[in-house]
Amino acid sequence: MFVGLEATMDTRLDAVVMGTSVPLGVETMLYRLQAGSEVPGRRSGSKGTRSTDRSRAPMSPAGRLPGNESRRPERNALVGRRRSRGMVTFLAGGTGTPKLLAGADAVFDPAETTVVANTGDDVALGGHLVCPDLDTVLFLEGEVLDRERWWGIEGDTTETHEWLRELAEAAGLTAGPRYLPDDLQTAGRDIARWRRFSGVAEFMEIGDRDRAVHITRTSLLDEGHTLTEVTERLADAFGLERTLLPMSDDPVASIVHTDQGPMHFQEFWVAHRAAPAVESVEFRGAESAAPTDEVLTALTEPVVIGPSNPVTSIGPMTAMDAFRDALDRTPVVAVSPFVGDEVFSGPAAKLMAAVGHEPGTHGVADAYDAVDAFVLDEADGTDLGRPVVRTDTTLDTPADAERVARACREALEVVSG
């Protein structure tokens, strides 16, 4: 059950759906973020306003993690400028879009690519904000991602995680997921609303170096910086050439309503392996959340949606009115995560059925009404009534990813004239 959140769960939204490298040492991660120069552009108060409060701790000019020297020139803020003709923006959630990006460099110049990542799956675990979809792109582009699992850092250790579980057992404490009490779900930092878990016997495996990223991120948030600002600094530390943005600096939580009660997506997927029957999906907070100015600027460029879960990977983004409206005004191409009615991986089929979409390529097209053209597998003969480019959409190797990326480029050329 969704222990401790029954009261806050009573008010629900309608389901909104648009539908390697040398491992990093903890010490090298932490020393790169120190006091120094001010970072402009903090969001505060009403949407679209900028705070003039200078009481927060400033961040220094970025250094680089050893082995992660930046491959991009210093960039200006995205806000207020139209970018070059070759720019394209990817929407990322889960592993679908990262697997596509893994071989896309020859097709989409990383220096002219922005990735907007889902934050509906984020959780506060033991007080630290964990951003799985942001971090998958961060680690991929920083060349430290564990590509066997497609999450976490390659070669990472889990000593702290293991000790937490052993300590809980020795103390007679029940294992997680353990939600914080109702009154604490909306207390403290806003970005963690409705998804705060105790760190006792943590139910998500967090590597030791991975944990250093979460500690640094959370500490900078607590110093007063926005998630966008913090993500940019982490991207600099990992030497990213692509621009990485969170979908919003406001809290949006993906809540899955099941026959066992409402639960955050991470409980549904990680703790229960998507076993509970799904009744609906809610993106809590989306009605008052807004994409940042940086995201809205990125969405003025052609958009590619990788083969991600249309419900919980892309749905939190399109649940924000301004985000959905921006997609309506730009060319959009999507890679289907299905071949006919067979899904590549994950709980997409189950979630789509629960929110009223046919589990399959037809349902993806119904969920993505802003998409102008699709990339489908060559074995998928579905007629969508929209332009389609077909190729082998398997994404097992970088060569596979390059092939699918070229199909995305072809589809963009069709809809962009």
pLDDT tens per residue across span 280-334: 999 999 999 999 999 999 999 999 999 999 999 999 999 999 999 999 999 999 9
Cβ–Cβ under 8 Å, residues 335 and 134: no
Mean pLDDT for the stretch of residues 348-352: 94
Confidence class of residue 13 from pLDDT cuts 50, 70 and 90? very low
* Per-residue pLDDT at 26 exceeds 50: no
Cβ–Cβ under 8 Å, residues 95 and 136: yes
Take residue 235 and report the two structure tokens written for it: 């991207």
Cβ–Cβ under 8 Å, residues 58 and 39: yes
Mean pLDDT for the stretch of residues 243-262: 97
Confidence class of residue 65 from pLDDT cuts 50, 70 and 90? low
Give the pairing type, strands 253-258 and 261-264: antiparallel
In order of 191, 210, 257, 331, the CA distances from 6 in angstroms are: 20, 31, 12, 41
Take residue 158 and report the two structure tokens written for it: 């889990």
Take residue 405 and report the two structure tokens written for it: 């990326």
Confidence class of residue 69 from pLDDT cuts 50, 70 and 90? low
| Domain definitions of the chain by residue range | 6-39+59-65+76-416
CATH class of 6-39+59-65+76-416: alpha beta
Q: Which of 283, 285, 254, 284 is nearest to 270 (CA)?
A: 254
Q: Which of 356, 359, 264, 348 is nearest to 314 (CA)?
A: 348
* Per-residue pLDDT at 248 exceeds 70: yes
The runs of H, that is alpha helices, within 15-158 are 26-30, 96-101, 132-141
Distance CA 381, CA 397 (A): 24
Cβ–Cβ under 8 Å, residues 77 and 226: no
Confidence class of residue 189 from pLDDT cuts 50, 70 and 90? confident
Q: What residues are paired with 303 via a beta bridge?
A: 89, 332
Q: What digits encode the pLDDT tens for the residues 357-413? A: 999 999 999 999 999 999 999 999 999 999 999 999 999 999 999 999 999 999 999
* Per-residue pLDDT at 44 exceeds 90: no
Cβ–Cβ under 8 Å, residues 374 and 362: no
- The tally of CA atoms less than 13 A away on the side-chain side of residue 82 is 1
